[in-house]
Amino acid sequence: MQKKRNDNLSQSERAYLISRLEFGGELDPSLVQRLAASASVRDFRRRRTIYRAGDEANCLYAIAEGRVKLSRLDDETGREAVIDILPTGALFGESALYSETATRGNWAMAHESCRLLTFSVGDFRDAMIEDRRLYDYTFQMIGQRREQAERRMANFALDAIPARLEKLLAEFSDRYGVDGNDGVLIDIPLPHREIASLLGSTRESVTVRLNAMRRAGTIDFVKRRILVKHRDSLALSQG
């Protein structure tokens, strides 16, 4: 089964999940309750598809637990271009708010087992109108994702693979990093093929470069995760 609707949660339980989202803690409790009344909760196992490119874009999703991968697939070659890996608390599927064709452009997949809240586009628009904080959050989120996409496009044009990799590790250290005595652990599994897809490279090239960084003492591998031992030595991720 690709997805399972969780009908055992009460409205108050759904409201609690909403309150823990990136935007939920700032909303008026009465609005949270109204969103919870119409929201649904679905559980997805790791690597299961949430939606495909071309599917109807009639709702938005928020990640209550787990992480979600966004990507695009080439129909002819089947090659995947990973766009981003979103953390717990994030909203996605926002193309439902502005798509002229009302269809998905990206693919969304459970990067790990996850629990998602689903909001109809009509209910979410109404909530944005009612609470300016939700409007501002959504507007800023869309802008930030566009900036991120533009920055990566510039990296593809201007940087060689080693610099792209260092910038990606710096970015993920900031987004998913857990500080420790030995450095910053990027607390998300990152298979070499997915790193290659994020960089527009090959798995072999990424593996060679990561091993070189490990020998140089810049990074290490800890249980399928990357430990950045010297964060300041990486190329600047912002620009």
pLDDT at residue 239, as a whole number: 43
When the pLDDT of each residue in the chain is averaged and rounded to a whole number, the result is 90
Walk across the sheet containing 91-92 and list its strands. Answer: 3-5, 40-44, 114-120, 59-65, 91-92
In this predicted model, which residue has the larger pLDDT, 157 or 199? Answer: 199
Neighbours of 56 (CB within 10 A): 12
115 within a domain of the structure (yes/no): yes
Q: Kindly report, residue by residue over 33-82, the tens digit of the pLDDT.
A: 999 999 999 999 999 999 999 999 999 999 999 999 999 887 777 788 88
Return the residue matching tokens 């810049």: 218
Burial class of residue 151, CB neighbours in 10 A (0-12, 13-18, 19+):
middle
Given 101, 127, 155, which residue is the final one in a domain? Answer: 155
pLDDT at residue 77, as a whole number: 74
Q: Are 39 and 61 part of one and the same domain?
A: yes
Q: CA distances (Å), 108 to each of 13, 60, 89, in order? A: 25, 12, 16
- Looking at this protein, which amino acid is placed at residue 41? V
Q: How many CA atoms lie within 13 A of 120 on its CB side?
A: 8
Cα torsion angle, 63, 67, 72, 78, sign: negative
Whether the per-residue pLDDT at 6 is higher than 60: the answer is no
Cα torsion angle, 166, 171, 172, 178, sign: positive
pLDDT at residue 99, as a whole number: 87
Q: Are 165 and 64 part of one and the same domain?
A: no
User: Comparing C-alpha atoms, which of 19, 42, 32, 11 is closest to residue 124?
Assistant: 32
User: Comparing C-alpha atoms, which of 193, 183, 167, 181 is closest to residue 226?
Assistant: 183
Q: Are 227 and 167 part of one and the same domain?
A: yes
Mean pLDDT for the stretch of residues 192-206:
90
Q: Are 148 and 46 part of one and the same domain?
A: yes
| 37 bridge partner residues | none
Pairing of strands 183-186, 3-5: unpaired
Q: Are 74 and 165 part of one and the same domain?
A: no
Return the residue matching tokens 């586009």: 121
Q: Are 164 and 149 part of one and the same domain?
A: no
- Separation of alpha carbons 237 and 168, rounded Å: 7
238 within a domain of the structure (yes/no): no
DSSP classification of residue 71:
E
- In this structure, what token pair is assigned to residue 132? 């300016």
- In this structure, what token pair is assigned to residue 195? 């790193």
pLDDT at residue 20, as a whole number: 96
CATH number for the domain that contains residue 86: 2.60.120.10
Q: Are 48 and 135 part of one and the same domain?
A: yes
pLDDT at residue 201, as a whole number: 87
Total domains present in the chain: 2
Q: CA distances (Å), 164 to each of 48, 115, 159, 160, in order? A: 28, 32, 6, 6
Cα-flanking dihedrals φ and ψ of residue 133, to 5°? -65, -35
Given 92, 126, 155, which residue is the final one in a domain? Answer: 155
Q: Which domain holds residue 204?
A: 160-233
Most confident of 72-76, 211-215, 234-238: 211-215
Q: CA distances (Å), 2 to each of 75, 94, 123, in order? A: 21, 22, 25
Place 235 in a pLDDT band, splitting at 50, 70 and 90.
Answer: low
Given 123, 155, 187, which residue is the final one in a domain? Answer: 155
